[in-house]
Structure 1
Amino acid sequence: MKKLRVGVIGCGSIARHRHLPEYAANPNVELVAVCDNNAERALEIGEKYGVPSYTSFVELLRNAEVDAVSVCTPNYLHAPISNAALLAGVHVLCEKPMATSEEEAKSMIETAKNSGKKLMIAHNQRFVASHQKARQLIESGEVGKIYSFRTAFGHGGPEGWSVEGKEGWFFQKDKAFVGAMGDLGVHKTDLLRYVLGEEIVEVGAFVETSAKEFATVDDTAVCVLKTESGTIGTLAASWSYVGKEDNSTIIYGENAILRLEDDPNNSLVVQYKNGDVVNYQLGKIQSNDEGGQSSSHVIDQFVDAVLNDKEVPVSGEEGMKSLGVILAALESNETKQIVRVKE
């Protein structure tokens, strides 16, 4: 079987901790190039993996003979670089949030369609075992009607692990476009859509900067969400949780409560109405904390889809729907109105 020749564009934290090591560990991949506009960083990573390094993604696409790329750049570059790669006949795995506007997201989907190349968005929460099990339990009807939910994703902020610390693009509105809500909140909007098996249609949100005075983006957001079937719940995304990371979701159903990544020992706890409790130990969720899940599964899924010409598990359309909830939350905070998510 021919190996997939891959380039990684952007050599920051997500590339270092996820994309590069996971490509290197995949026997069906040949890592052939890396790129970062910081020449020193590009060289360091290129030397580490024994591949040429570039400071221009245009040059990488022109010279590196890649079949696929990971786009691990600041958010404002996701769409232009993904589009350029797709137009060059290269498959794209793009980090989340996929874009900074609905127009950008649509352009990426359109370019992928016209080029006949695959576009996948790196929403990794779908591949967490506890989340997949919860989806099965809901889908099978075992949980009954879903009454409500609450989900949270919070930690102390990217300055603790990003390569540039407080100076990093994460905190700059012109590069990131959105803060904790885009970094963490979009993970949870994608997770809720996946686990509940339905779309979020209305959003009310408060989006603030309360902990990171140096930032020009939000660091704390709390949203109320309503799904198409009328289920309501909350989503919190924050860079102001100074203790342990919180990456939990609780789903309240007619027959049971599902507690996902809420218990330190059991990745899923199902509390039935009749008093029975079932604990599942399905492995750890990915985390910035030590001892988190070892693989995101995103890279392996992408490689498999490209090599075997399968549908990618998280399409551009899916990425755009999850982004749409974030855009509605930002609009709700601005207008102080409940906002309908654009279809």
Structure 2
Amino acid sequence: MKKVRVGIIGCGSITKHRHFPEYTANPHVEIAAFCDLNEARAKSFADQSEANVYTSYKELLSDPSIDAVSVNLPNALHAPVTIDALKAGKHVLCEKPMATSIEEADEMIETAKANGKNLMIGHNQRFVASHEKARTYIQEGKLGNVYSFRTAFGHGGPEGWSVDGRNSWFFEKEKAFIGALGDLGVHKSDLIRYVFDQDVIEVGGFVDTIAKEDTNVDDNAVCIVKLKDGTMGTLTASWSHKKFEDNATIIYGEKGVLRLEDDEEFSFIFYPIDGPPEKEDLGKIQTNDEGGQSSTGVIDEFISSLVEERTPLIPGEEGKKALQIVLAAMESSKTKKIVSI
């Protein structure tokens, strides 16, 4: 079987910790090229895989032997580079948030369709075993009616993760567009749609910069969301959790409570109304801590969709719906009104 030749555009921490090792581990992949404005950064990866080095993404896209690309760039560049890649005949795995507006997201989706190429957005929380099991429990009725939930994603901020530290593009609004809400919150907006298998219809948000200095992107967000069936919950994102990373989701139902990624020992705990709790260690969720990395499942799903010639599990349409929720939260915070989707 012919291997999928992949080009990686952007060689920061997401490439170092996620894309490069996961593409390398996939038997169906040959990494063909790396591109970064910092040539030395791209070369450091290329030297490990005998790949070509580019400082211009358009030159990389002009290589007809490259089948697919990862777009691992500042948020404001996701849409334009993805659109160029799709027009060049490449399949695209784009990091989240997929765009800075619904108009951009729509153009990405339409360009993928027009060129017959796969577009997948890098939301990895769907592939976490505890989240997959929670979705099954809800679908099987083990919680009965679900009433409310809370989900959170917080850590100390991009300065502890980005290759450029405090000088990272994450803190520059022109490049980032959105802060913690887009970096972390959009993962959770995708997750709740997946776990509950329904859309969000209303959003209220408080989005502000309260912990970081010398930046005008948000570093904390607290959102209230209502699902189509009336279930209500909170979604929080923070770059000010300095001591512990928080990636927990709690779901409150008629027949019991689910605790996901909220216990040091057990990633999945179900407390039924009657009977003893069910506790399982299904593996740790991905973290930014050294030694905490594991396969996200994103790269494997993207490549599988190409090998099997099918739509990926998280196409552009799904990425757009996750984006809509965080954009609605931003609008709500600005207007002080509940926003309908």
Q: Same fold (TM over 0.5)?
A: yes
CA distance in 1, matches of 2:293, 2:249: 17
Which residue matches 1:52? Answer: 52
Contact 1:220/1:236 (CA < 8 Å) preserved in 2?
yes
> In 1, distance between residues paired with 2:312 and 2:203?
28
Are residue 28 (structure 1) and residue 23 (structure 2) matched? no
Matched residues in 2 for 1:216 and 1:39: separation? 29
Other-structure match for 1:257: 257
Report the CA distance between 1:158 and its aligned residue: 0.7
Q: Which residue of the partner structure matches residue 216 of structure 1?
A: 216
1:201-212 equivalences in 2 (<5 Å) = 201-212=201-212
What letter is aligned with 1:141?
A: G
| 1:50 partner amino acid | E
- What is the CA RMSD across the aligned residues, in angstroms? 0.9
Partner of 1:298: 298
Partner of 1:313, secondary structure, is: coil
The count of corresponding residues between Structure 1 and Structure 2 is 341
SS in 2 for 1:48: coil
Instruction: Quote the sequence identity (%).
Output: 60
Q: How big is the shift at 1:183?
A: 0.2
TM-score of the two chains, using structure 1 as the length reference: 0.98
CA contact (8 A) 2:268 2:281 kept: yes
Counterpart amino acid of 2:157?
A: G
Structure 1 CA distance, aligned partners of 2:15 and 2:64?
18
Cα shift at 1:21: 0.8
Distance in 1 between the 2:34 and 2:128 partners? Answer: 28
Per the alignment, residue 331 of structure 2 pairs with 331
Could you tell me whether the CA contact under 8 Å between 1:268 and 1:281 is conserved in 2? Answer: yes
Q: 1:64, CA displacement in angstroms?
A: 6.1
The one-letter code of the counterpart of 2:166 is K
- Give TM-score, length-normalised by structure 2: 0.98
1:340 paired residue number: 340
Instruction: Give me the whole-angstrom Cα distance separating, in 1, the residues matched to 2:34 and 2:307.
Output: 21
**Which position in structure 2 is the counterpart of 1:228?**
228
C-alpha deviations, 1:168-224, integer Å up to 9, x for none? 111111001000000000000000000011111111111111111122200000001
Quote the Cα distance in structure 2 between the aligned partners of 1:319 and 1:312. Answer: 12
Q: Distance in 2 between matches of 1:39 and 1:129?
A: 37
Bigger mean CA offset, 61-70 vs 159-168: 61-70
In the other structure, the counterpart of 2:168 is: 168
> What SS does the aligned partner of 2:22 have?
helix
Paired AA for residue 92 in structure 2: V
Q: Which residue of 1 aligns with 2:188?
A: 188
SS of equivalent to 1:49: coil
Structure-1 residue corresponding to 2:242 = 242
Structure 1 equivalent of residue 7 of structure 2: 7
The within-5 A match list for 1:63-142 is: 63=63, 65-142=65-142
Structure 2 residues without counterparts, runs of 5 or longer: none
Deviation at 1:63, TM superposition (A): 2.7
8 Å contact kept, 1:204–1:329: yes
Alpha-carbon distance in 2 for matches of 1:180, 1:48: 32
Give CA deviations for 1:217-276 in whole Å, capped at 9, x if unaligned.
000000011111111110110000011100000000110100000001001000001142
- Contact in 2 for aligned 1:283/1:293 (Cα 8 Å): no
Query: Secondary structure at the residue paired with 2:48?
Result: helix
Mapped to 2, the partners of 1:7 and 1:63 lie a distance apart of: 10
| 1:311 positional shift | 1.7
Q: Is the 8 A contact 1:143 1:254 kept in 2?
A: yes
Q: Distance in 1 between matches of 2:142 and 2:190?
A: 22
- Mapping for residues 279-294 of structure 1, pairs under 5 Å: 279-294=279-294
Contact 2:17/2:293 (CA < 8 Å) preserved in 1?
no
Residue identity in the other structure for 1:181: L
Classify the secondary structure of the residue corresponding to 1:331.
helix
